[in-house]
Structures are given as C-alpha cells and as structure tokens.
Amino acid sequence: MLKIAVLPGDGVGPEVTEQALLVLEAVKTKFHLEYTLALGLIGGKAIDKTGEPLPAETRRLVLTSDAVFLGAVGGPKWDGMPIDLRPEKGLLELRKILGLYANLRPVRCWPQLLEQSPFKNEVASGVDLLIVRELSGGAYYGAKGKRTEGGEAHAFDTIEYSEQQIRRIARMAFGLAQNRRRKVTSVDKANVMETSRLWRKIVEEESRHYPDVSLNHLYVDNCAMQLCLKPAQFDVVVTENMFGDILSDQASVLGASLGMLPSASLGEGAALYEPAHGSAPDIAGQDKANPLAAILSVAMMLRFSFNHTEAAAAVETAVEAALSAGLRTADIYSAGTTIAGSREMGKAVARHLSS
C-alpha cells in the first residue's frame, strides 16, 4: 500500500489539491487501488504556523512516504521575508531532501483547446512533448553572493555540474524516449559555457547506449525559437536546471494555459507531483482555479509511483471527455463553451472516470 504525503500549500494549492484527490478517489474505486493519505504543511502556511517553510514534521512525513503531492507555494504575503525563509525555500529543500534530480513536464496541445492557444492551429496542432529538466544542479544550487567594490555593487550565481549529474538525467531522458517517439533533443549553450560543453560530451556518450533513440543538439536560444516556429518536431527535450525552468514555462503556452501543465519530479526517494502553475493568490478561495494540471499530475503519479499505466490513461481520457463536453475554467474559456469552477471541473472528470 502506497503512502502519499499531501501538501496543499498556499493560494489555490488547497483548491486544486482537493479536486486532484477527488479524482484519485474515483480511480481508487475503479481500479481497486490501495493507498493512504497524510497531510502536511509547506510554504507560507507552514511559515505562519511554525516559522519555517518546511517544518521538521513535514520532513519526517515526506521521508516516510512513497509519493508526495504538492499544491502550490508562495504569495505576496511572504514576499518581504529573507530569502532563506521564503515559501519557495521550502520547495527547494523538499527537492533536496528527497534527492529529486529530474523534473518531467509533459506539454500537450489538447485538440479541444487549439483555439485557446496563442499559436496558429497549424503550429500548435500535434504538439506532444516532454521536457526533462535537471533539478539538482546549476545556478539555483551553485555558490552565490554579492559584494561591493569601489562603491559599486556586484552579484554572482555559479553554474556548476558534475559528470554524474549529467549522466543520470541523460539516461532518464533516453529511457523515457524509448516509450515515446524515440527522439531526444539536448539543449545547451555549448558555444559559450564550459558546463554546456561538458553537458554535450556526456549526453553524446550516453546516447551510444540507446541506439534506438535519435539525438540532436540545440542551443537554448534556438530551442526557444523552434518552440514557437515548429513545436511538433520535439519529443523529449533534456536540459539543465535554469534552461529547463524557462523553456518549460514557454512551452506551456502551447497548451493554452499553465493550468493544463502537470509535472513530476523523480529521484532517489519518493517522487513529487505538482501542477506547474503557481499559487495564483489573486483568485485563491474563489473556485476559479483550473484543477486539470493537478488532476493530470495525479495521472503522472499513477504512471510512475503506482506503475499503473491503465489508470493513468483513464484519468487523461476523463480529462479529455470533460473538455469535449465543453466545460472550461476561466483560463481556457472561449465562446460556445461552458464556464466551470474548479469544483465543477473536478467533479466532471471524476464522473467520466466512474462512467
């Protein structure tokens, strides 16, 4: 029986988490799954109650769990706090203690949402890509600081990668590609950066162990352009931490809204599943948030933690059925469709699962 740690977090996090768990319960009934749920604090809510963004009790909880589901963290209430006490610090610490090193963000342009994409139909149509972002290295974790010289302020953030960090993310990308369309695009800036030159060398070496998967390289600026010009060319995109952070948010626009983008972070311990959107404090508590990214994150949990591909596919089919029925939250609404709140959308997906 799997133990799932549930961390609703801040803003709309509790609302979308509620709908994700509603859908998970419907899956449990349909496929006779066995799991337990345990609630924990993270982010701003944790700061308010304990003074820490990732309290000791939550650390113990996630380290004794098989999977972690997170809503969202952050909000303007905590923006003025020192960087080590910001809600986002809790998320970084969570990734660190779980040994998470691979963030997976699938981007799919659902046929029902083609009109909501800011891209022309012929550009967005057929987009189904997976961004594999290295999560444990790079500028976010490197040495950083600031100093003053001659009255002028200076700041620095260090990008550093080891051979082992690159090898394991490359292996994951190639392995995932074997179950997709067997194509990996590695993104770097090897014409300028020493870390990128090491990155390209190691990815090339690892590719020899996957002769059934094709490999090509793109500089990050070219990749950003290609995501706008011809996004359907991509299958699996693997890249370092900061590039992956930026490119995955850019790619999310292809699917009409961040509210449609799930994610999974995998590594040495329990996997972490969360919608890619933020806490959206401006609509928190108003039943307006799109829960589909959270629900699709449940599908990823079913695929990677439960190893139940049939259940995962059933959730994705139920999401598609709700969209085909014309239901839309405000972020993906268009003329001729029916606007729905977060709860109504969650219930619709659960209902299609149960039918």
Reduced to 3 states, what is the DSSP secondary structure of residue 254?
A: helix
3-state secondary structure of 75: coil
Q: How far apart are CA 273 and CA 299, in angstroms?
A: 10
- Choose, from 10, 188, 235, 245, the residue flagged as catalytic: 245
H/E element, 291: none
CB 104 within 8 A of CB 40: no
152 contact partners, CB below 8 Å, separation of at least 6: none
What order do you get walking across the sheet with 2-9 strand by strand?
Answer: 35-39, 2-9, 67-72, 271-275, 262-267, 100-108, 128-134, 236-239, 183-188, 214-219
Active site residue 96: no
Cβ–Cβ under 8 Å, residues 217 and 190: yes
In the structure encoding, which two tokens stand for residue 311, read together? 């259940």
> How many Å apart are CA 231 and CA 247, to the nearest integer?
12
Active-site position among 45, 89, 189, 288: 189
Longest CA–CA separation in the chain, Å = 71
CB 321 within 8 A of CB 108: no
Residue 319 Cα distances to 272, 298, 347, 352, angstroms: 21, 12, 11, 8
Q: Which residues of 181-190 are buried (b: 16+ CB within 10 A; e: fewer)?
A: eebbbbbbbb
Contact present, 227 and 121 (Cβ < 8 Å) = no
Single-letter amino acid code for the residue at 115: E
Residue 140 bears catalytic tag: yes
In the annotation, is 189 catalytic? yes
- Among residues 35, 140, 141, 219, which one is catalytic? 140
Active site residue 249: yes
- Out of 48, 79, 201, 221, which one is annotated catalytic? 221
Check if 84 is active-site. Answer: no
Catalytic residues: 140, 189, 221, 245, 249
